[in-house]
Structure formats: C-alpha cells, structure tokens
Amino acid sequence: MTLTKRPRKAPGRPGTAPEAKAADSGTPIPIGALEQHVAIVGRTGSGKSYAARGAVEALLEAGRQVVVLDPTGVWWGLRAGADGGPGFPVPVIGGDRADVALPAEAGAALAELLVARRQSAVVDTSGFTMGERRRFYGAFLAGLHHENRAALHLVVDEADELAPQRPLPDQTTVLHEMDRIVRRGRARGFRVLMITQRPAVLHKDVLSQAGCLLAMQLTAAQDRAAIGAWIEGQADRAEAKALLASLPQLRTGEGWLWWPHAGPPVQQRFPRIRTLDTGSTPAHGEETAEAPLSDAGLDLEALRTALAAPVADKPRRDDGKALTALCAERDRLERERDQALAELGACRAAIRAAAGALAPLAGEICISPTLRPAEEEAPVPVTVAPAPCEKARSAARRGRGEGAELRILRVLVAHGRPATMRQWATLAGLSAKGGTWSTYVSRLRTSGYPGAGVGGTWFVNEAGRAAAGEVGPPPSSEELVGRWCEAVGAGGAGRMLAVLAGRYPATVDREALAEEVGLAASGGTFSTYLSRLVSNGLATRLPEGIRAAGELFPAGSEAR
C-alpha cells in the first residue's frame, strides 16, 4: 500500500467499477463508497460535518433518499443555498428551524411516515432532553428497521451517542437498534454514514462495519488507536502507523479517504459545499448563519397533519412483545412468591416438629400461691423437674437444629404416609435435584432412618421416628391438603389444589379450573402450576377433567 497525498479525479486503479467515480457535486468521496457504510471521524472543528454535508449534497443531487439524524441542530442549512438561493427540498422536522414540530414520542410514527413516502428529511433532535432523545432514537430506528425495504441513506451525526462503547442502562435499546441496522440492515436497504468526533467512544462493533473511512484531524491518542484496528486490517503495520501519525498534523478540511475497494488511501482537501454552512463557528463580531427557508416542492401541511395525530391512536407494533414481557415478569414474581411461601411452610413444619421434640423437657414449675410482703424479700419456692436423661438431651439438641437433615426427616414423619422423593423434597421446601437435598438424604440413608416403599416412595422406620422425636399425630385430610397448599405455593398452585380438593372425588374441567384461579387455561402460568401438582402426585389429568389425588384423603372420606 502506498499513501497518496494528492487529490485524484477518479479514485481507484485501472479497471475500477464506474460507480467509483467521484460524486457529481465535487465531493472527493466516490458515489460508490457512499453505497457502503461510511465512518467520518475527526475532532471538533476538523471539518468532518462539512465533508459529510458535501456527501449528502451528492446523494440528494442523485435523487437518493437521505434521512439525517441531527442532535446538533445545524443540518437545516441543506434547505438554503450558499449563494442565498434555495437549497434542497428536504423538510426539517424538529428543532429551532422546524418546518414540522416533532413530539418526542413520535419516533415510530415518523419512521413509518418517511418510509411510506420515500421522503428525505432532517430529523432535528437538538431540542430534546437526553432521555427524550434516547427514547426517540430507539423507537425511530426500530420503526425504520421494521418498515424499510428500499435504498435509504441514514446519516447519523454524533454517532457515539446512539452507539456508545460503554452504554448506560437507558442506552442499551438504542445501541441494539443501531447495531442491528449497521450489522444486519444491508438486506433492508440501509447505507449508514456515521459521524463522530470521538471514535474511541463509538462502539467498536459498529465502527468495524464501515466499508469506507474518512479520517480527519485527530489529536487524542485513544481516538487514533480506535481506528487503528480498522486501518491495520487494510494495510501493513508500518504503513498504518505512518497514516495514524499524520492525523494530528492535518489541517481543517483535510482528511485521509480510504475505500479499500478503490485502492490505497488518498489525502484529500474537501471543496466548498453548495448549501448554507450552518455548522461553522462564528468569529468574533459575527452571528450564526441565518436564511429564509422556502417551502417549494414540499407538502409540509400533509407532514404536519400526519405527525399531529395522537400517538396513542396509532397502533404500536411492539404491543405483543411488551405484553409477553409483562406476562413473563408476572410469572417470575409469582414463582418467587410461591417459593417464599413454600419456605415459610417448611419453617412452620420445622417449628412444629421442634416443639414436639422439646415437650419432654418441660419441667413443672410451681410457685407458692402465698406471696409474702415485698419487704421480706423471701425466696419464692420453685419445684424443678429432674434433669433429663441423655436421650432427651440428644433429642433437644436435634430439635435445636443440630443435624439439618433431621428437619427434613421430621417433615416426612409429619406427613404421616409414604411419599415420593419429589413429594418429600417439595414438602421440605427444597429441590429434589439440588445438591443440598442429595446431601441431606444421603446422611439420613447412611443413618438407616428412611426406608424404601413401593412405587418409589419413602417412609420413616422406627429408628428414624426415634431420632426425629415427637412430631404429633398424622395429619387429617384437611391438614394434609393445607400443608400441600403451602408447599406448592399458596398463591398459585396452592389455590388450584384447594379448588380440586374441594371438588374431590369429582373432576374439574380445565377451563373451569382456570376461571376459578383467575388464569387463562391456555397460558403458560396455568400449565406450570398444573404440572407442579401432577409431578408431585397431587392431581391427575383424566379425559373428563382434572381430579385431586386420592391419597390426600383417608379411605372412604370426601372433602367437604
């Protein structure tokens, strides 16, 4: 590669395609290069916006659709000629020089409008707050991506604002939309021209997609390093180093133009633009550029009418996705609530079991019914029960939590009947697939406390009952249903179980059950709750409906 420091009339080598010729307006950027994604980088005052303006003039002259996203408020000058005459018939939407006012919430509506009309426009967001601008850009870019299927040149000034290298939480949406258009939007007709004064803060995944680079004066080392990877991918290291080293010395309006398809980079000086230069810094004693804007060739009234329509009346294309996201969040919160209720139920069961284990330790405390006068301060006779035996002390230690596995053993004892491993874990508020559960069950089996029953069930043998201590009599049908409702989640699956238990032995139709618990029968939440009951052996799916499991009720009894 050879660095060329002279302008060229027709960039490229012999045999270069005709589209590589310079644009008719005189801009040194080949019109073919503008059919690629282009990155224009340079510090403030280097002339990058001026160079970009020349490229946009060439595109408009060629009849291309161009949409400029302008957070700086200077692109309105496209409407006025540098000689005082008219400029291009491009409406300015938003900003201080607006032809059409731009509501901050109209991003999706404006995108749909511009695509439907194949309308070029300057979209001026300089009057928005930063939060309004990010929300607008996210909706606007999403709308463009959804609607557009034809060639569209999207000019993004201050591109690092839409695609930051380190996005804040409220910038992730617009970054996603910008990345999607740049990386996957070619098939939908997008050609993006990105302008930034800080390539170091422009997201590298977006910058890397540029097929043509215009590098103007850059003095900060980190900004030069940011484009170094792009340059080194096209040249050897020594030549890339020489180009990067030259960037601080470039004068205003000069830059290295590199479209690899057309040959080596060329140092260019950009000619004067034909429209009003509204981006230059006023000298002392001067004012910013002003010019009347002609409405010739523009149907501004139709644009105003379209954007003035209430945004709420326009259909939102993302309503389905938003509803899905809300439903998913609701389901997540319900699962967390059910888990908390299950843990609470397990704690209650453990407290009841501990209370039963401590019962033998309760001594009889007798206080003399006759109280002496306070001044005598005689000791009150107290009768204390004999010290408990070693077996009772051991039971007390277990009741206080020594050996966490004993808690889940007491849960199975309190259940009063054999249970599958999954049922046992659910009652204990744990997952049967978790490591904690496996550890506890392994310890209990090593101690020989649980026994294997028929059908994959487990029960507590005599040694296990002695180790667990007193936990009270087996639960009644109502108590058993209540415990299960707490274990599977009182707010969700528990409500469903209560309905089924109340109808036992009759079945309940799926639609009727869903209506009883306030859910949609076809929804994921309903299916999740029902699966939880079925997998724990608490309900059965039958052709005629759903029925509570018979093991919840003593033989011959029915729910009231």
- Residues 6+ away with beta carbon under 8 Å from 191: 34, 35, 36, 37, 38, 151, 152, 153, 154
CA atoms within 13 A on the CB side of 442: 6
pLDDT band at 359 (very low <50, low <70, confident <90, very high): low
Mean local confidence (pLDDT), 188-216: 95
pLDDT band at 537 (very low <50, low <70, confident <90, very high): confident
Residue in 414, 385, 410, 416 with CA at minimum distance from that of residue 398: 410
Most confident of 38-47, 327-336, 535-544: 38-47
pLDDT of residue 328: 81
- CATH code 3.40.50.300 region(s) in the chain: 18-279+298-306
Q: Which two tokens stand for residue 131?
A: 């939060």
Topology (CATH) of 477-552 = Arc Repressor Mutant, subunit A (1.10.10)
Whether residue 139 contacts residue 107, with contact meaning beta carbons closer than 8 Å, is answered with yes
pLDDT > 90? residue 90: yes
pLDDT > 80? residue 390: no
pLDDT of residue 366: 43
Instruction: Give me the chain's average pLDDT, please.
Output: 81
pLDDT of residue 295: 66
Q: The domain 326-358+388-468: what is its CATH number? A: 1.10.10.10
Q: In this prediction, what percent of the chain has a pLDDT beyond 70?
A: 81
- Tokens 């919430």: give the residue: 105
Residue in 65, 54, 125 with CA at minimum distance from that of residue 90: 65
pLDDT of residue 469: 81
pLDDT of residue 294: 63
pLDDT > 50? residue 189: yes
Lowest mean pLDDT, pick from 91-95, 493-497, 542-546, 552-556: 552-556
Whether residue 367 contacts residue 380, with contact meaning beta carbons closer than 8 Å, is answered with yes
- CATH code 1.10.10.10 region(s) in the chain: 326-358+388-468, 477-552
- Residues 6+ away with beta carbon under 8 Å from 446: none
Mean local confidence (pLDDT), 224-239: 82
pLDDT band at 292 (very low <50, low <70, confident <90, very high): low
pLDDT of residue 115: 95
Give the number of other CB atoms < 10 A from CB of residue 333. 11
**Strand pairing category for 152-156 and 66-70:** parallel
Lowest mean pLDDT, pick from 146-150, 384-388, 410-414, 425-429: 384-388
One-letter identity of residue 429:
G
pLDDT > 80? residue 353: no
- Gyration radius of the chain's alpha carbons: 38
pLDDT of residue 543: 86
Which SS3 state, helix, strand or coil, does residue 92 take?
strand
pLDDT band at 159 (very low <50, low <70, confident <90, very high): very high
Lowest mean pLDDT, pick from 295-304, 392-401, 459-468, 515-524: 392-401
pLDDT of residue 446: 85
Q: In this prediction, what percent of the chain has a pLDDT beyond 90?
A: 39
pLDDT of residue 185: 94
pLDDT > 80? residue 287: no
pLDDT of residue 23: 40
Match domain 18-279+298-306 to its CATH number in 3.30.43.10, 3.40.980.10, 2.60.120.380, 3.40.50.300. 3.40.50.300
Q: State pLDDT tens for residues 91-148.
A: 999 999 999 999 999 999 999 999 999 999 999 999 999 999 999 999 999 999 999 9
pLDDT of residue 291: 64
The whole-model pTM stands at: 0.55
